[in-house]
Amino acid sequence: MEDMTTTAAPATTTPVVGFDQVTKTYGSVRAVDGLSLRLYPGETVALLGPNGAGKSTTLDLLLGLKNADSGTVNVFGTGPREAIVAGRVGAMLQSGGLMEDVTVAELVKLACSLHPKPYKAAEVMARAGITQIADRKVNKLSGGQAQRVRFALATAGDSDLIILDEPTTGMDVSARQAFWATMREQADQGRTVLFATHYLEEADAIADRVLVLHRGRLLADGTAAEIKAKAGARRVAFDLEGDIDEPALRGLPFLTSIDVSGQTVRIQSADADATVRALYGLGVYPRNLEVAGLGLEQAFVAITEAEEAKQSC
């Protein structure tokens, strides 16, 4: 698989975020391993990676919640904490505890009062869709409502960089749609949005750049389309009549996965042309043949599995 860590980011724009050879270890675990990357104004960037890949640690380093063992983290030309004190960074963390014995409105007003460039609390609540629960105690909220409140806190003021760790977990469909519409507006106004997610369809739909982390290293960096294309493999689906000789199909060249369901066969192949030629060579005549590129989810799995295989050699 070719190198996927070259980004087409503009060379002339001053980066919003710069990581240079950043490493963070916990005991023997290298959570972030020599990570270098740049984020630029107006980018919406998805941070993907399997469990334990180092996404949350990367965001914590970016927010100054953790210190790197080596390397440098730069945010708007300063350290992360200075950038936060200056109000340039808004964040929504995965399990960010919410103050319990206050109402939603009180909490949002507090967040606004602490921000150097605050928005009006009523505006912030309307944007997050929590006006109707403004008088409710924070410890009485459902999971999705609490998530909306975290979203409000992350957008309490005019920040230039918005960091979101799995932001839509627990949100219903309409909350998700409203959330991403707001984030899109924020990016259109020149803000940088960085979000970690396990929802690959969200990354595909929302992000104009996708970073794939694996064991603390950057495995891929590009648009979703580039990552899908560079993963190489393609999906092939077809129907067969009569008895299916599954062992023979499993022996097809370039096959990376196969699923037989009834008369329908779905395979993933590193060289779809060669696989289909070999299929005809078996004397098998597929009907309804479809060949398509990988979705971001399959590309992600292909990239991370290829890396696992490389490391276990």
User: What is the binding site for ligand ATP (CB under 6 A)?
Assistant: 26, 29, 31, 49, 51-57
Q: How far is the CB of 155 from ligand ATP (least distance, A)?
A: 22
Q: How far is the CB of 18 from ligand ATP (least distance, A)?
A: 19
Q: How far is the CB of 30 from ligand ATP (least distance, A)?
A: 8
Residue among 50 and 232 whose Cβ is closer to ligand ATP: 50
> What is the C-alpha separation between 233 and 62, in angstroms, rounded?
34
Q: 41: which 2 tokens?
A: 């104004």
The torsion angle over the Cα atoms of residues 205, 5, 306 and 228, rounded to 10 degrees, is 30
Phi, psi of 59 (to 5 degrees): -65, -40
Residue 269 amino acid letter = S
Residue 270 amino acid letter = A
Residue among 148 and 217 whose Cβ is closer to ligand ATP: 217
Q: How far is the CB of 273 from ligand ATP (least distance, A)?
A: 36
Q: Which helix (H) or strand (E) holds 71?
A: strand 70-75
Q: How far is the CB of 62 from ligand ATP (least distance, A)?
A: 12
Q: How far is the CB of 198 from ligand ATP (least distance, A)?
A: 6
Residue among 28 and 174 whose Cβ is closer to ligand ATP: 28
Residue among 125 and 207 whose Cβ is closer to ligand ATP: 207
DSSP letters, 88-139, are: -EEEE-TT----SSSBHHHHHHHHHHHSSSBPPHHHHHHHHT-GGGTTSBGG
In 3-state terms, what secondary structure has residue 169?
A: coil
Residue among 95 and 174 whose Cβ is closer to ligand ATP: 95
CB 238 within 8 A of CB 296: no
Q: 117: which 2 tokens?
A: 């460039």
The residue to which tokens 């803000």 are assigned: 191
CB 182 within 8 A of CB 127: yes
Residue among 66 and 127 whose Cβ is closer to ligand ATP: 66
Residue among 54 and 157 whose Cβ is closer to ligand ATP: 54
